[in-house]
Amino acid sequence: MKILNVVGARPNFMKVAPLHRAFLRREFIDSKIVHTGQHYDERMSKIFFEQLELPKPDYYLGINSKSAVALMADIMTAFEAVVLKEKPDIILVVGDVTSTLACALVANKMNIKLVHVESGLRSNDRGMPEEINRILTDRISDLLFVTEESGGVNLLKEGTSSDKIKMVGNVMIDSLAFYQKKANAIQTHFVANDYVLMTMHRPANVDNFESLQKIVDIIQSVGKHKKIVLPLHPRTANRLDGFGLLSVLENISNLTILQPQGYLEFLNLMMNAKLVITDSGGIQEETTYLQIPCITLRNSTERPVTIELGTNVLIPNLNVEKIESTVLTILNGETKQGIIPPMWDGKAAERIAEILEATFVVEAHKLSTI
């Protein structure tokens, strides 16, 4: 069974790494990696391959078009050529980025079995590009691997056959558990529990002046109470510069701005933070696993288990006063007590490999002996 695993953006790498390791341990699985090039900044792409000990991609498509439509079209065209050459049995996509949907559509058009890892997550916000990517990918997938109960519930509501849905846990947590000790050994000048870690990159938060000004206001208000460490996403840096807010940010006291971090470096920062403020989906999950307080600055989340069971608190509308009061509550020791969700145990990739082998390899063998 030949599997083409698609990666394109930072979160994909952490999800595919444990899957590729699990596949390589199986005699009847031939696993190959296709990197679309969607994230082309070296510190956002190449360094993750190195730190996650992934081999050099079997194919690097080098697609980094500026327009979202051109990006989708260029990925599809380049990926089609790979599929024609490799003739895979399965195309595996993870998450919800443009590369996910583009390669899923190619699989569908070329009648290749499609597997979606991290299925069923819904924010119910159609204004998020990721939401559309998730919905469309799920609708055309042959097997849907789910990270939390809400994923399965959502898929059933949308009419997905229950035999396609498999609850397996969270491959993002597989990577975190696997590399936690290595990340903890990194030397840093930041004192544990002495800072707030912050990340911002969602278009809704950084692509217009009013929202970005609120982000700056939030940093100023939180910085009055605790040091802030801010790894600056390239998208956010570009928007700050374009709106004339970068110099304002650079002059805020009690703020340390960092370049984009490698996976291990960022994991170290997260593990040692007093709390995390973010708009990232994956970080909501990682902080829940690490039992670190997290404040998510979004109007909705596609990962409700991080709120229902985990350490995550959702604050909509970039409410500066609400955010400051919540930060003070956490700094005063009144932290939300969370638990780790079911099956977030570092073994999700093994479960997926076992299901794929049983579903496709074993069934194919049975048919061949009839």
Q: Domain residues of the chain, as ranges?
A: 2-169+344-368, 181-331
Question: Is 201 designated active site?
Answer: yes
Residue 6: φ, ψ to 5°: -100, 130
Domains 2-169+344-368 and 181-331 share a fold: yes
Task: Out of 20, 35, 39, 201, pick the active-site residue.
Answer: 201
If you average pLDDT over every residue of the chain, what do you get? 94
| 212 close to 250: Cβ distance less than 8 angstroms | no
Top-confidence residue, 53 or 12: 12
The pLDDT of residue 39 is above 80: no
User: What is the CATH code of the structural domain delimited by 2-169+344-368?
Assistant: 3.40.50.2000
Q: pLDDT value at position 66?
A: 77
The pLDDT of residue 41 is above 90: no
Can you tell me whether residue 236 is helix, strand or coil? helix
The pLDDT of residue 259 is above 70: yes
| 183 close to 361: Cβ distance less than 8 angstroms | no
Q: What is the tens place of the pLDDT at every residue in 299-341?
A: 999 999 999 999 999 999 999 999 999 999 999 998 888 999 9
Q: pLDDT value at position 309?
A: 97
Question: What is the fold, at CATH topology level, of the domain defined by 181-331?
Answer: Rossmann fold (3.40.50)
Q: What is the tens place of the pLDDT at every residue in 201-218?
A: 999 999 999 999 999 999
Q: What is the tens place of the pLDDT at every residue in 269-310?
A: 999 999 999 999 999 999 999 999 999 999 999 999 999 999
* Extended strands (E) in 120-248: 143-146, 165-167, 195-198, 227-231
Q: pLDDT value at position 64?
A: 83
Sign of the four-CA dihedral 300, 156, 144, 177: positive
Q: What is the tens place of the pLDDT at every residue in 188-200?
A: 999 999 999 999 9
